Amino acid sequence: MEGWKLLLFHFYLNQVSFTLIVADPPTCPVNIGTQCGDGYDSGEWKGEFFPCIPKIKKYEDWMRFSVAFWHTFRGTGGDPFGAPTKMWPCEDGTNSLAMAKRRMRANFEFLEKLGVDRWCFHDRDIAPDGSTHESNSNLDEVVALAKELQGKKIRPLWGTAQLFMHPRYMHGGTTGPDLGVYAYAAAQVKKAMELGGENYVFWGGHEGYQTLLNTDMERELDHMARFFEASIAYKKKIGFSGTLLIKPKPKEPTKHQYDWDAATAANFLRKYGLIDEFKLNIECNHATLSGHSCHHELETARINGLLGNIDANTGDPQIGWDTDQFLMDIGEATLVMLSVVRNGGLAPRGFNFDAKLLRESTDVEDLFIAHVAGMDTLARGLRNVAKLIEAGKDDFELLEGKAMEWGEPEVLSAKQGVQIP
């Protein structure tokens, strides 16, 4: 890394300071009761959604943290084997426009108290679905409120279109056999890209196959490439300056997804001449599902010039599905930050906490504790990387002195044929 980047790295490192303030009382009520005041039902209520949480002390860093709206405000604790376990104070059990506005107000209170100035969203997470025109109208109304609330400081790190949850996308949004679905997906991406944000992410939740017996893989990949070409053209047409990102994932929900891992995505981009127009958004839990470590995926993206954004989470090594847990392992965080430092940072992208509370975690304060602990873990990883860099500053004169002192080195056997228990 160039000298100035190292100096900048150490300058920012010295500014890292995370402080968790313990609230009193330790837990917050989850029932809204009747104390919310006028305007609650219309989504215009301006009271506090997290009254028991004080503002977290501000920090300075170079990691550009972001909160994932879908996990933080749409996560219910439900899983394939169990019903939802939590409903936050702002919730009324509906997916109305008024409810969407209350969630957005809660989101910005959360960001302010957490001291984070970026957030990420799917279009259908922040506004209710409907007919094409109704969906666009709902989205416009909620986005207008978000822009009013975010002021000049808070910004979306990235946005995306949710092209996987609705039944219309069960065969894929860009790779399915239905032209009408393909057109609907294009309309949805067009609208989502117009909403603004520092970057834009594509994640193909159903862009893959269950069996090759009824799949024309080449044709589907061609269609996906044409969709990306159209997105590049529209980005340039509207003057969108953000980075287009692809988020690799190997499986779940499909048996095989076309963006299996960083190497597969890089090969796809290179084959279709898109390598200069995209970067990758690496998610650590997706890396483990593909049989790799997060560090491997970050390095694969980096050496291909594609490391853009990181969805900072982790999975449980004893669970074979996408658990989206907060990253708490300092060793893993050190390796993550090593790739980031080698990459010269991530800006104008960053770290998105694409992570959720476990099913058993039901207190409002847990949202704050989890995010602060995740930030602390990455900060400690960054400090460890600084020590590694300092430890590697030996010059030739020093190394020559050590060679003279130590004499001929003893080269040990690799023991390649020895079975080590």
Give the residue numbers annotated as catalytic, written as ranges. 122
The candidate with the shortest Cα–Cα distance to 37, out of 94, 102, 96, is: 102
Q: Assess contact for 66 and 353: CB atoms under 8 A.
A: yes
Angle in degrees, CA 324, 325, 330, rounded to 5: 130
Contact yes or no for 120/158 (Cβ under 8 A): yes
C-alpha closest to that of 376 among 15, 18, 60, 14: 18
- Give me 240's structure tokens: 């969108």
Cis omega (within 30 of 0) for bond into 26: no
| Rounded CA separation 86/75 (Å) | 8
List phi, psi (to 5°) of 39. Answer: 90, -5
**Distances, alpha carbon 361 to alpha carbons 20, 74, 80, 336, in Å:** 18, 14, 17, 26
Two tokens at 286? Answer: 């997706």
Within 8 A by CB and 6+ apart from 146, the residues are 104, 107, 108, 126
Two tokens, residue 324: 């989206």
Q: 41: which 2 tokens?
A: 């039902």
E strand residue ranges, 238-382 = 243-246, 256-257, 278-283, 307-311, 351-353
With tokens 């503002």, the residue in question is: 55
Residues ≥6 apart with Cβ < 8 Å to 218: none
